[in-house]
Structure 1
């Protein structure tokens, strides 16, 4: 169980101590693991709103009102790993597997570029279906064809040599969620051959190579405790990822955890706000899983908790159905006018402005190009063009 006292009455002394820890993070101080543990164990629901406000103030001081929009392409659901929580795990024989052909992938990227996207996220299950040399060549071709397009990869654990080849070919961001920084908890979520040490070593290598590197974790996953979550917050404080992917645990009927309860939205929002304060310059997505947990207001509440990135799924509808990491995935028609109108409404309510430029981390050496006027109506009108 996480956030042990979240929905329980907390005395004023305890609340003041927790708030003092939040203010110390906001001031740029580093907390110890024990302090994170106290914060998570005693954080009361009534401190969520003021913590969210601090997160928004911090985000605006760094990124202004900009909300970066990315194009997501789920290039394959073939996976050799067997994570106990994931719907595309290798042992799931009920899922129909697919993989993009390079020509199809190039066409999808061309359409995205024509719509104005300047960051493309290529995500897949972890496998060797795509030969490393062929994928490296494809990345090089893409970056030469569209020099101002940033390629983000989310392909799982690879060797350092492969990561280096991707980087040399022009890929500049890599997402690899660590899922849990608590070794005991990590082992409860994965088979023995998958270890936390190997995961963290990959993250270390990605940073050393020069990628804008994304880590992240689930909130409310089976066996997660406040101690586990304290490890996650402590890890992102130490590692300082350029991107932080956080979302609720959502069960899938074809996994060993099918009967486990989903994560709690307000716990997720608390983690978004804390992550923004712990890693102020991070690119922090409002994840699809969060919108799936609460289709009506999940994305808006994430933006109000410090998030500054959203992803639009550009994969064909039939493939989106098969890239099912969890049940009841939200917004399967991401390019529809209806969906884009929902984004526009949330952006306006959050007081943010959509932008389609690269949206790099502030430490990245290549500055963002000047962005055109990108009020929500202008940007979404462009996205809606066929």
Structure 2
């Protein structure tokens, strides 16, 4: 079986074979999976680890996704929207840390006032973050949910170059089960394709371990990433928030969830060799060295939190969210040492565009 791992054909791999890979338990085959994902990472993306400063600019949301802790109907949430100065200060903190990029994330709003607010912030960050080390300023990514094509074009023209819109699941029935009827799989897919057409480095991802989810569904998700030609992937385990109505128990125990999440990273790296894959916060919530282990299985991006401490506890998509930031000085330094001990190189003042994005855009020039 270990020989079969190294001989996998990323273009012709079947859902059945991918599901088998996702089911790998600790042992010789799983170690072969990890090593193959690592080899593909080194061959296609080098040993660099890129940092994206995560700034959660608002937890105001107009939607009612059944799995999300900041859903509109959750009355226990203390709502906030950071001021321009607060966001700019957080972004400049990322520059001081040596990051090359940030991700601005929020609950979903589509009104013009919100798009104005984000556009003004993007322009301010691009202007203020330029330096000798970052001549074009910070690369700015957004995760603001579904937006109209007009709004997306405005955000792109303001200076954002990346956008993460998680599909959450590519199974239409499961998608309908975890979202209100006002949201549709078709609209999400259409928005994802609009992002790519506008010129964004386009990211998506899924939750792992949703009630009713199967390994075959997750295998289909991986083929979706490949077939939709996405440039970056952010996925992680489904973690329950107590103030959400999603029915049914998680599909697996926490131990199994962590194992399958790592297998998912490795399998995605094999099928999508040139994309950026994040070692997400949710991994560390399951295991104290979740991010490091995610890197060992093929991730190449880490997103430390730079949401102001006095607001970060109000942006709880799930219970028990871990926080990696320089506020935890010892933890941060230990993380960097762990990365180096794994033979990886922390990359500072670098945008870290995925090779897949570079190749995709150059082919259309």
User: TM-score, normalized by length of structure 1?
Assistant: 0.84
Runs of 4+ in 1 over 6 A off after TM superposition: none
Q: Cα distance, 1:131 vs. partner?
A: 2.3
Match of 2:269 in 1: 276
Q: Deviations over 1:317-369 (max 9, x none)?
A: 12110100111111265532122123123203322110121111124559xxx
Match of 1:141 in 2: 124
Distance in 1 between residues matched to 2:15 and 2:247, nearest whole Å: 32
Q: How many residues are matched?
A: 346
Q: Cα distance, 1:156 vs. partner?
A: 0.5
Moved more, 108-117 or 263-272: 108-117
Q: Is the 8 A contact 1:119 1:152 kept in 2?
A: yes
Match of 2:197 in 1: 208
| Mapping of residues 168-183 of structure 1, within 5 Å | 168-183=157-172
Q: Is the 8 A contact 2:156 2:200 kept in 1?
A: yes
Distance in 1 between residues matched to 2:325 and 2:15, nearest whole Å: 42
Give the secondary-structure state (helix, strand or coil) at the position aligned to 2:96.
helix
Q: Cα distance, 1:106 vs. partner?
A: 1.4
Distance in 2 between residues matched to 1:252 and 1:302, nearest whole Å: 23
User: TM-score, normalized by length of structure 2?
Assistant: 0.88
Distance in 1 between residues matched to 2:301 and 2:331, nearest whole Å: 16
Give the secondary-structure state (helix, strand or coil) at the position aligned to 2:279.
coil
Match of 1:221 in 2: 210
Q: Cα distance, 1:289 vs. partner?
A: 0.2
Q: Is the 8 A contact 2:57 2:105 kept in 1?
A: yes
Q: Cα distance, 1:250 vs. partner?
A: 0.6
Moved more, 105-114 or 323-332: 105-114
Q: Cα distance, 1:166 vs. partner?
A: 1.1
Distance in 1 between residues matched to 2:344 and 2:24, nearest whole Å: 28
Q: Is the 8 A contact 1:299 1:346 kept in 2?
A: no
Q: Does 1:238 align with 2:238?
A: no
CA separation of 1:157/1:361 partners in 2, compared to 1, >3 Å: closer, same or farther?
same
Distance in 2 between residues matched to 1:96 and 1:227, nearest whole Å: 38
Distance in 2 between residues matched to 1:98 and 1:24, nearest whole Å: 50
Q: Is the 8 A contact 2:25 2:259 kept in 1?
A: no
Moved more, 184-193 or 141-150: 141-150
Match of 1:314 in 2: 306
Match of 1:342 in 2: 334
Give the secondary-structure state (helix, strand or coil) at the position aligned to 1:131.
helix
Distance in 2 between residues matched to 1:276 and 1:254, nearest whole Å: 34
Moved more, 271-280 or 114-123: 114-123
Q: Does 1:249 align with 2:238?
A: yes
Structure 2: gaps of 5 or more residues: 131-135, 360-365
| Pairwise CA RMSD | 2.2
Distance in 2 between residues matched to 1:98 and 1:91, nearest whole Å: 15
Q: Cα distance, 1:251 vs. partner?
A: 0.7
Match of 1:57 in 2: 39
Q: Is the 8 A contact 1:273 1:305 kept in 2?
A: yes
Q: Is the 8 A contact 2:18 2:267 kept in 1?
A: no
Q: Deviations over 1:194-243 (max 9, x none)?
A: 11111111111101111111111111111111232122122112112111
Structure 1: gaps of 5 or more residues: 1-15, 367-386
